[in-house]
Structure 1
Amino acid sequence: MSMLRTTLNSIARVPESKHFIQSSRTFWFGRDKVRFPKDDDHATGEERLVRMAIARGNKDPFDLQEQVRGPGTKDNPNIVKTFSGTRMVGCKCEEDSSAIKYMWLHLNEPKRCECGFWFKAVPAEKFWEQK
């Protein structure tokens, strides 16, 4: 028992300059303040490019959110952005329907869905090349 107390007392007598105190994302080692990187600072590669695009105001860089259909005529088709030459889209033909009809769109080639709406794939802005 006395051996344990001696060990605990010696640990408790660590000099102040070696104390380790954590405060959110900033750490104090003695008198020096060290800042650790946040998620945005630590991200690399594609994740960093996506975070930078979102910070610039592009809330949906890959254009994955649901879009509201426009007129969808042959002369004025619904525009769908794509980074490659093709893109698969789903059309909810009727408002109350729970089924989605999928089709492949090819770049700059308008295509008609079974319900009669037209879609056209156009090149998307490459957010990773923007400064």
Structure 2
Amino acid sequence: MLSNSMRIFCRKFLHCRLIIPSSSLINQRNYASEWDAEDWGMNYPDTRDFANEREKFRIQKRMNGMERYDTQILYRDRDATEVNPNIIPTHGDTRVFGCICDTDMNYIVWHKAKKGELGRCECGYWFKVVDADEDD
């Protein structure tokens, strides 16, 4: 802090009331480099703990690898022809699927095909919708 003589000098000649050293303005705060919730007894609940029965059933199926809408990625066979088309499995009578014709495209060409029908995309790839295995 400043001595009394320094304060008087500041008031008379510098027209200031009080000079506070800049080091006293800085409040030091210590930050932790790592933080773990378990150290503080904060264990976050799992989503299954507060889900209702329907949500629990969906979460359990998803954890077992069974998606609700069967959203799996099927890669095209580049050698697909009319005789040997890309196979699209379905559990129903029809299936909606998308084809990204070129790797530079920023949209998907959607198709709706019936079971057993042979279809062709704008890019020239052939597709056929067939029955899915009961195991899938």
Q: Is 2:125 aligned against 1:121? A: no
Identify, as 1 or 2, the structure richer in strand.
1
- The match for 1:44 is 53
Distance 1:108 1:92 in 2: 22
Pick from 103, 121, 134 the counterpart of residue 95 of structure 1: 103
Runs of 5+ consecutive residues of structure 1 not aligned to the other structure: 1-22, 26-37
Structure index of larger Rg: 2
Tell me the CA shift for residue 103 of structure 1: 1.6
The 3-state SS of whatever aligns with 1:105 is strand
Distance 1:63 1:50 in 2: 13
The percentage of aligned residue pairs carrying the same residue is: 32
* Post-superposition CA distance 1:42-65 (Å, at most 9, x none): 6535x4554443344x25453213
Letter of the structure 2 residue corresponding to residue 99 of structure 1: Y
* Post-superposition CA distance 1:54-95 (Å, at most 9, x none): 344x25453213322113222222122222211111111112
The 3-state SS of whatever aligns with 1:95 is coil
User: Does the 8 Å contact 1:40/1:51 carry over to 2?
Assistant: no
Corresponding pairs, count: 95
Runs of 5+ consecutive residues of structure 2 not aligned to the other structure: 1-41
